Amino acid sequence: MTLRVLCVFLLSGWLSVSAAALPIPENGPALRIQGSNTIGAELGPALVEGLLQEQGLLKIHRETPDTANEQRIVGQTAQGQRVVIEVAAHGSSTGFTALKNASADLAASSREIKDSELLALQALGDLKSPAAEQVIAIDGLAIILNPANPLEQLNTEQLARIFAGEVKTWEELGGRGGAIHLYARDDQSGTFDTFKELVLSRRGKSLSSAAKRFESSEQLSDAVSADPQGIGFIGLPYVRQAKAVAIADGASQAMLPLNSLIATEDYPLSRRLFFYLPPDSRNPWAQALATFAQSPQGQAIVATSGFISQTVQAMSVTPNALMPEGYQSLSRHAQRLTVNFRFAEGSASLDNKARQDLARVLDYIKRHGKTERAVTLVGFGDLKDDPARADLLSKLRAMAVRRELVKNGVVMREVRGFGALMPVATNSADEGRIKNRRVEVWVY
């Protein structure tokens, strides 16, 4: 650290530990994180511990204050100075509120920032910019039942009617057990916001007042496990002893919340987990944690915590009769990477996650020696009145990804477009159409 930078930190109330280390505040926590319980219960603290270890701190441990769903992660410098990072996990919306009133440095959210929040926080900079909006992990909302419930799959239309209280018994769904008991996260939860957006609001439904509400993911899951008539929704790591069912959306096949289908965001109830870092933030720990979360070490912690990491891997896909012949042929001879490139709403530009994924895909291609005609890009789109237009748009999306890879020395084997075939979501809503506009990467 230069003398000039050191002086800046000293003037702003920070003390530098060493030339290589992050500065330590003279008073109070080094970093305050607020928001999602899904992130804050375990993943956030685990990432913080990883960052403290990377910084060479000693005696790293967690302290639990009297307030529920709050933790302090504490380390110690070689000189014996305590370094404290606070994590408050009361729901995604509370993170954005805390940024606004300056009681947090970083917001953890299990949903994308809302337009109203973006507007309210515009004084902090553009929170939708690539540097501010950091996708740290992928999660899937699992629909969970009691293990004794015989049902194996549901569709999103059925889910909406169940949680709105319109479907009242298991017998109406072809099951057994009598009255359906509903379990849901609380109103502050990003998990609830995601379920509301993907399932309820899309069909003009609201959550039934009969649903039992929980701030804790673990408590909700355990309650469903203990209730033969129960059904709930939960983040993937919190399925615990419950039974997850396969979910279909529109014309998509029913999919279980499997790691590979969540990594590609094909699973209908997959979602992104975010850190939101104000662009004008002067807290170096906030930027350091966001950077660490994107690193291979950070993504390894994501996987260990039960979420889906963004580390790129190749997977085999079994061909089936529902696939177009060209896609079946691809499945027989190549492997698909565990990433889909998606696009900003109403734009041909890659979204923020796709920009992050480009670096990961390039790293995979180069490490595995596949820069010379070993990569095929496959584009898909949403339904159009003219199938030829859907085919063209799907190929143009693939070409947009091709341009970025070619800039970095990758020679393509092929670029293909399959139009509106093989949807992963319903085309009757904006969210579904965005998911269907995707580009897959295949390697030989």
| Cα–Cα distance, 378 to 387 (Å, whole number) | 17
| Cα–Cα distance, 169 to 274 (Å, whole number) | 36
- pLDDT at position 356: 92
> Is pLDDT above 50 for 273?
yes
Mean pLDDT of the chain: 91
| Cα–Cα distance, 25 to 21 (Å, whole number) | 12
Could you give the angle at the alpha carbon of 146 between the alpha carbons of 144 and 151, nearest 5°? Answer: 75
> Is pLDDT above 60 for 11?
no
- What is the residue-wise DSSP string for 342-355? EB-TTSSSB-HHHH
Residues of the chain with CATH 3.40.190.10: 3-135+273-304, 139-261
| Cα–Cα distance, 121 to 167 (Å, whole number) | 40
Residues of the chain with CATH 3.30.1330.60: 312-443
- Average confidence (pLDDT) over 117-145: 96
Tell me the percentage of the chain whose pLDDT exceeds 90.
77
User: Nearest-CA neighbor of 403 among 341, 314, 320?
Assistant: 341
> Is pLDDT above 70 for 2?
no
- Average confidence (pLDDT) over 82-87: 97
Q: Are 52 and 60 in contact (CB under 8 A)?
A: yes
Residues 198-255 pLDDT 10s: 899 889 999 999 999 999 999 999 999 999 999 999 988 899 999 999 999 988 889 9
Q: 221 CB contacts (<8 Å, ≥6 apart)?
A: 144, 232, 234, 238, 239, 240, 241, 242
- pLDDT at position 410: 97
> Is pLDDT above 60 for 296?
yes
User: Looking at per-residue confidence, does 71 or 345 come out higher?
Assistant: 71
pTM: 0.83
- pLDDT at position 18: 38
Joined tokens for residue 109: 């959210």
- Average confidence (pLDDT) over 287-297: 96
Q: What CATH architecture does domain 312-443 belong to?
A: 2-Layer Sandwich (3.30)
3-135+273-304 carries CATH number 3.40.50.1860: no
- Average confidence (pLDDT) over 415-426: 90
Residues 32-65 pLDDT 10s: 999 999 899 999 999 999 999 999 999 999 999 8
Residues 341-359 pLDDT 10s: 998 776 678 899 999 999 9
139-261 carries CATH number 3.40.190.10: yes
